[in-house]
Structure 1
Amino acid sequence: MTVVPERPVLVAPDKFKGTFNAAQVAGAIGRGLEKAGLMPPDLCPVADGGDGTLDALLPQLGGELVARTVTGPLGRPVKTGFGLIEGGGTAIVEMAMASGLALVGEDMDAWAATTYGTGELIAAAAQAGAAVILVAVGGSATTDGGAGAIEAIEAAGGIGRAKIVILTDVRTPWEDAPKVFGPQKGADAAMVAKLERRLDELAPTLKRDPRGVPMTGAAGGLSGGLWAQYGAALEPGAPFVLDALDFDDRMRAARAVVTGEGRLDQQTLEGKLVGEIGTRTRQAGVPLHAIVGRDELDGFGKRMIDLQMVQEATNLEELEAAGERLGEALASGEA
């Protein structure tokens, strides 16, 4: 008689924005699966290239955090840092940690907010010897087209031969950044128009013109500024992060995958992380389940990625309980 070894569940959630980071979500779900009697799961907290990317990549890739104090989005000092992986050859800069919306609180100022601190981190990473600098650009407070970051990088002497790779989950072009993202940063209609004029005036001063290029509008044009001035590569964040974490190999070694995010909706299928995971699990024939903050995706959308058991959970206790219910369903063959 051949004994088939038990296989783990791969737990690969994104953050629940504003509440829990991906590692907290994965840990809670994992505890629930084990309470149901399943073997320890393979915990793989993930990110889409925006805020939370450093937390997702650094622990799993065995890197270190280098502390720095930089200029915050409204000029106040911010204690933050950047990650180094691969023996220091690759750096990870998360712009939200230096120029993020969470750092301004109720003092949102779409005009004054600057990416200068992100530029300071990029320059520090280059000075630390990183040959590749990954810049995760979600969660920004800024719409300065990267002007602040470029100023900081030039003040520090440039990036030498380092290569910048932008990770983003949006395809918005440079000129659309103010109208798409400005309102969530405190900009009214008049301010949006003012920001559009500023970006339009900045574009021709750069080494190449970012207008009309997909993904150049991420983080209020930071991605486009770095693309235009330093030849930065623009990469969809979700597939990049999944590949970096060897997701496909881990998925094929699992009996099932459970993912999650704060809200499951139509946008999930439009390049977001859970949609990317769903595409991969469907192609590989691996069952996919989800535990989410809110489930607003219709049945047709779920069928598109063969999403099976979907549960809602809004705190860590509920996440653990949902994990336990999924574990019991898997153990009994009901899922």
Structure 2
Amino acid sequence: MGAAAGAERGVRVLVAPDSFKGTHAADVVAASVAAGLRAAGVEPVSMPLADGGEGTLDVLRGAHGGTVHDVPVTGPLGAPVTGRLLVSADRRTAVVETASASGLTLVVPHPLGAWNASTRGTGELVAAAVASGVGRILLGVGGSATTDGGAGAIGSILEHGGLRGTHLEVLCDVTTPFERAAAVYAPQKGADAATVARLEERLEALARRLPRDPRGVPRTGCAGGLSGGLWAALGAELRPGIEVVLDALGFDEAAGGCVAVVTGEGRLDGQTREGKVVAGVVEASGRSGAGLPIHAVVGQSLLGDAESRALGLSSVTVASTTAELVEAGRRLGRRILDEHRAASPGAGGR
């Protein structure tokens, strides 16, 4: 045991997963996988991630520090709810999550709700962030119940005096354009085929009225077109949420001291490439020149082996419970150590 521990000293693996939506927060996934890696003799470096969806505020709080404020706002169907607003320690940056004000978890999915759901509460949160005096607002737009093209949020922000020079950055988790928002996402919000058609017509009408046309522009379809509405009406900047998070947390520097990366998300599927955490981690590793093997631990995978390899993954492990996550970490730890020893003659210390 002592010889093995000595041989494996300094073998670090970056653990950088997203949350498993509806089951485990990102920090729980990271801690569970890290426990397995540690049991295998690997030193884990935990970095829970988010892509602009739920959990983004908490992840960015780790980078920016600051205080989370509870803000009374209008929920997606008009009832009062409590939204969350993070003001950074230096009071220069605010972070807002659409999900806390206009989120799908706040409603029961139904065709009528899918039609009526409004982003007004998100606009109220943005207005509160402007009133706090920050110069920059980061708005995560994942997990919404809405397909109003941002009409509710735009109206609310303008009613409160607009952005007043504050730079609004929308952290996008998909690249879908404005006109596809209803067809792609409204069904998961309770819309039936007839409601999807009506929502498409409403988005088209809104696009024609906005100062800029968001149709055809990548990332304008996030949160049922909220991102596109804010871009068109208020000049918001649309950014890949995962890139903003990785930069804030210092991913490149952390990866530079590791021999591999373990990432993950609730489901690996066709949307993973559109700005989700796993694809973002693969791209960031490539840009940094680290060239590290990247392993994914996911709750469910709809991709075949060839598709996973094309994505840039060395392996995919399916695990849903915390016990399974720990075991996945343990098995990956053994594999990573074996590969490290094979690539580094003498690493076995014997």
What is the TM-score with the length of structure 2 in the denominator?
Answer: 0.88
Code of the residue aligned with 1:181 in structure 2: it is Y
Distance 1:313 1:107, change over 3 A: same
Code of the residue aligned with 1:55 in structure 2: it is D
The alpha carbon displacement at 1:36 in A equals: 2.5
Q: Is 2:175–2:275's contact at 8 Å kept on the other side of the alignment?
A: no
Aligned counterpart for 1:53 among listed residues 47, 53, 56: 56
User: 158, 161, 182: which one pairs with 2:162?
Assistant: 158
Do the aligned residues in 2 keep the contact of 1:216 with 1:225 (CA within 8 Å)? yes
Partner of 2:82: 79
Q: State the partner residue of 1:233.
A: 237
User: What is the one-letter code of the residue matched to 2:271?
Assistant: Q
**Partner residue in 2 for 1:286:** 292
Cα offset, 1:223, TM superposition = 0.8
The 5 Å alignment of 1:1-335 reads: 6-39=10-43, 41-85=44-88, 87-106=90-109, 109-282=113-286, 283-333=289-339
Deviates more, 1:272-281 or 1:235-244: 272-281
What percentage of residue pairs aligned between the two structures are identical? Answer: 52
- Structure 2 gaps, min length 5: 1-6, 342-350
Please, which moves more after superposition, 7-16 or 210-219? Answer: 210-219
2 CA distance for matches of 1:154 and 1:239?
29
Distance, in Å, in 2 between the alignment partners of 1:271 and 1:72 is 27
Q: Is the 8 A contact 2:76 2:106 kept in 1?
A: yes
Q: 1:146 to 1:8 in 2, by over 3 A?
A: same
Partners of 1:279 and 1:305 within 8 A in 2: no
Shift of 1:333: 4.4
Asked if the contact 2:25/2:55 (under 8 Å) is kept, the reply is: yes
3-state DSSP of counterpart to 2:206: helix
- Answer yes or no: is the 8 Å Cα contact 1:9–1:256 preserved in 2: yes
Q: CA deviation at 1:106?
A: 4.2
Distance 2:33 2:145 in 1: 31
Q: Aligned with 2:176: secondary structure?
A: coil
Residues 173-182 or 297-306, more deviating: 297-306
How many residues get paired?
332
Structure 1 distance, partners of 2:41, 2:97, is 37
Query: What is the alpha-carbon root mean square deviation over aligned residues?
Result: 2.2
Given that 1:110 and 1:143 are in contact with CA atoms closer than 8 Å, whether structure 2 keeps it comes out as yes
Give me the whole-angstrom Cα distance separating, in 2, the residues matched to 1:302 and 1:107: 34
Compared with structure 1, are the counterparts of its residues 123 and 302 closer, same or farther at alpha carbon in structure 2 (3 Å cutoff)?
same
Aligned-pair CA distance for 1:4? 11
**Match of 1:78, as an amino acid?**
V
Cα pair distance change 1:96/1:145, threshold 3 Å? same
* Distance in 2 of aligned mates of 1:201 and 1:133: 28
> Partner of 2:347 in structure 1?
none
Please tell me whether the aligned partners of residues 141 and 172 of structure 2 are also in contact (alpha carbons under 8 angstroms): yes
- Distance in 1, matches of 2:215 and 2:273, equals 26
What is the identity, as a one-letter code, of the residue corresponding to 1:49? G
Matched residue of 2:169: which SS?
strand
Amino acid at match of 2:107: V
Matched residues in 2 for 1:267 and 1:91: separation? 28
**Structure-2 separation of matches of 1:324 and 1:5:** 16
Preserved CA contact (<8 Å) 1:269 1:301: no
**How much has 1:120 moved relative to structure 2?**
0.5
TM (normalized to structure 1)?
Answer: 0.91
Letter in 1 for 2:181: A
Q: Deviations over 1:104-142 (max 9, x none)?
A: 034561111010110010000000011111111111111
Query: 225-234 vs 266-275, which deviates more?
Result: 266-275
Letter in 2 for 1:75: G
* Aligned residue identity for 1:317: A
Bigger drift between 131-140 and 171-180 goes to 171-180
